[in-house]
């Protein structure tokens, strides 16, 4: 089992729809969870952080965390073509906060 798993996609959604991106992790002791957006050829950009069970909203983005199920998700409402990118999930694995482990990312395509 990979430490952080994501479906590689591509996930295709029509413009204006809700995109749902999922991530599972292996370490029950993980405390910090991050979502990054990476446009093709560019570096990752931090878009959301979540540390407690439940939902955290920021504009069109909602991060959801369920520690019991070891699952974190990112919802993008009213998806726009500019949201087309690869979304990376990152989790602090094996305790500590100095390092995080990244998933391989899910490629999102928003169809106009």
Partner 1 sequence: SQTIHQWPATLVQPVGSPLSLECTVEGTSNPNLYWYRQAAGRGLQLLFYSVGIGQISSEVPQNLSASRPQDRQFILSSKKLLLSDSGFYLCAWGTGRTPNEQYFGPGTRLTVT
Taking the C-alpha atoms of residue 44 and residue 58, their distance in angstroms, rounded to an integer, is: 18
Q: Does 45 bind partner 1 (CB under 8 A)?
A: yes
Is the C-alpha dihedral spanning 51, 105, 84, 74 positive or negative?
Answer: negative
Binding to partner 1 in span 61-100, by CB under 8 A: 88, 90, 92, 97-100
Would you say 105 and 88 are in contact if contact means Cβ atoms under 8 Å apart? yes
34 binds partner 1 (CB under 8 A): yes
Judged by CB under 8 A, does residue 104 bind partner 1?
yes
Per CB under 8 A, the list member of 9, 51, 56, 71 interacting with partner 1 is: 51
Torsion-angle region of residue 47: left (phi > 0), alpha (psi -120 to 50) or beta?
alpha
Note whether 12 binds partner 1 by CB under 8 A: no
Nearest CA-CA partner of 32 in 88, 90, 82: 90
| 25 contacts partner 1 (rule: CB under 8 A) | no
**Binding interface with partner 1 (CB under 8 A):** 31-32, 34, 36, 42-46, 49, 51, 88, 90, 92, 97-105
């Amino acid at each position: 089992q990979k430490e952080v798993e994501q479906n590689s996609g591509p996930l295709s959604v029509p413009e204006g729809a809700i995109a749902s991106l999922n991530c599972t992790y292996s370490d029950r002791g993980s405390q910090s969870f991050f979502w990054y957006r990476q446009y093709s050829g560019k570096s990752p950009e931090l878009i959301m952080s979540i540390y407690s069970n439940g939902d955290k909203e920021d504009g069109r983005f909602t991060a959801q965390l369920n520690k019991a199920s070891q699952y974190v998700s990112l919802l993008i409402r009213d998806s726009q073509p500019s949201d087309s990118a690869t979304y990376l999930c990152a989790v602090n694995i094996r305790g500590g906060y100095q390092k995080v482990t990244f998933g391989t990312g899910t490629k999102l395509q928003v169809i106009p």
